[in-house]
Amino acid sequence: MAFPRKNANPEIFVPFRHCQTGKRDYLKFRKNSTGPRPGTYLKGNEMVPEKDFSDLDANYKPQSVNGRDMIFHDGFAAPFVLEGVPFVDAEGRHRRLPQEAAEKCLRPPVIPMSLQGAGEVLRFVTDSTAIALDVTFDELFAGPQRRASTGFDLYIGSGTEKRFCGNQFPATQDPHAELLFSALPLPRTREFREYTLYFPLHSAVRSIRIGVDPGCRLEPPAPHRVEKPLLFYGSSITNCGAVSRPGMNYPAIITRLLDLPMVNMGFSGACLGELHIADEIAGVDPVAMVLEYDHNAPDPEFLARTHEPFFRHLRALCPTLPVLLTSRCDFMNTPDGKRRREIVMRTFLHALDEGDRFVDFLDGETLFSGPFRYDCTIDNCHPNDLGATLMAERIADRIRRMLAPLDDTK
């Protein structure tokens, strides 16, 4: 297609490609305009007014959300970047763990949990002054922390400078929901900002469309500091069922602090150190891993039979993967608590004795140290926002040190 000929009017023509058809065309803009506001577009050899823009692509037909017209785009297609769900099943559903692997786990709840959105993140750049969501759920789990279990957190900013914008959650159990982020601190002016959308921790999203103001553009986000994800394997502590919203999950806080993508393999009540899970972790090829396996072992004897074999199996698959072993964060000075910590520490010490330079140990008793130690959970076990923040700060500091030698080799 020939580029439109210049004329005397102070206008510029910008090429673009339709998001559905792939057809190329041109938008006409006024020179020196403050933003990408199309006045007309070129359809064939004819300039068509902006009011007919939806004729060019049905996706540009506005959809009203809470009385505000928005243009919607498939959130699972470019330029959006989806993170945290490395597997896709035969039905096209995004998973934290393949269905076949979930079905082999000792506890069946892993199967539905593998579809839930803990760690699932959508990133994008836009100049819109509002963000809308059109969501269809496979499963809605309205737990005690509804904003965390069914809600979405929106953050603004890039790199390590992301800040919370707001949380929106469905008001009912209807599997279809339309949500609008229009309250501040979203910018009131048209300028490009990067956004990070955290999915509900305990609900499964089938599809999502992202709505922006008419005339606004979408672009892919900047790459992370490190391309490979930081992977977390653990219990409900890692699944984070007690925080107030998805962005306060301790893995989410860590990956904001370090500017890394994440994969959250926290399975409430079902982290039992099965060896085939180590196979799946190796396939993800993470940059590093946090192993929070302790709580779900029914007794210290089970933990002793499974903890070190799981680590050894993983180490055989990933000889240089940095692995941080943690004991339980809600450590109690009881015979059971002491025994469990000794088992996790023994795995670490045996690895050191064998010359492993890529393993470290973080004593869970230190995670909630300080004057607010006993205010860090909702039930003397599951971290609240304060507990998750303290965990994130201490674990992030240790991961940062473990990754430093890798940075030096670049």
Across the chain, mean pLDDT equals 86
| Rounded-to-integer distance, Cα 120 and Cα 252, Å | 10
| Rounded-to-integer distance, Cα 40 and Cα 11, Å | 11
Q: How far is CA 269 from the centre of its chain?
A: 21
- Where residue 252 falls among pLDDT bands split at 50, 70, 90? very high
Is the pLDDT confidence value at 56 over 60? no
pTM for this model (two decimals): 0.84
Write down the H helix ranges in 292-410. Answer: 300-317, 335-353, 385-408
Rounded average pLDDT over 229-255: 95
Q: How far is CA 237 from the centre of its chain?
A: 16
- DSSP state letters, 219-279: EPPPPPSSSSPEEEEESHHHHT-SSSSGGGSHHHHHHHHHT--EEEEE-TT-----HHHHH
Is the pLDDT confidence value at 57 over 90? no
Nearest-5° Cα angle at 134, 79 to 93: 70
Q: Which domains does the chain have, with CATH numbers?
A: 11-55 (no CATH), 72-84+119-219 (2.60.120.260), 230-408 (3.40.50.1110)
- Of 251, 291, 254, 246, give the one whose Cα is nearest residue 271: 291
Is the pLDDT confidence value at 212 over 60? yes
Q: How far is CA 410 from the centre of its chain?
A: 26
Amino acid identity, position 285: D
* Neighbour order of strands in the sheet with 46-49: 11-17, 24-30, 40-43, 46-49
Considering only residues 42 and 164, tell me which one the structure prediction assigns the higher pLDDT.
164
Is the pLDDT confidence value at 60 over 80? no
Q: Using the 8-state DSSP alphabet, how is residue 105 labeled?
A: S
Is the pLDDT confidence value at 216 over 70? yes
Q: What is the pLDDT of residue 409?
A: 52
Rounded average pLDDT over 175-195: 83
Q: What is the pLDDT of residue 50?
A: 44
Is the pLDDT confidence value at 2 over 60? no
Q: What is the pLDDT of residue 17?
A: 42
Q: What is the pLDDT of residue 183?
A: 65
- Where residue 24 falls among pLDDT bands split at 50, 70, 90? very low
Q: What is the pLDDT of residue 58?
A: 54
Q: What is the pLDDT of residue 141?
A: 85
Nearest-5° Cα angle at 201, 100 to 153: 135
For residue 332 the two structure tokens come to 């109690």
Rounded average pLDDT over 28-44: 43
Sequence-ordered list of residues with C-beta below 8 angstroms from that of 407, at least 6 positions apart, any chain: none
Q: Which percentage of the chain shows pLDDT scores above 70?
A: 83
Q: Residue 302 to residues 141, 164, 297, 305, 340: CA-CA distances in angstroms?
A: 30, 41, 6, 5, 10
Q: What is the pLDDT of residue 63?
A: 87
Q: What is the pLDDT of residue 408?
A: 57
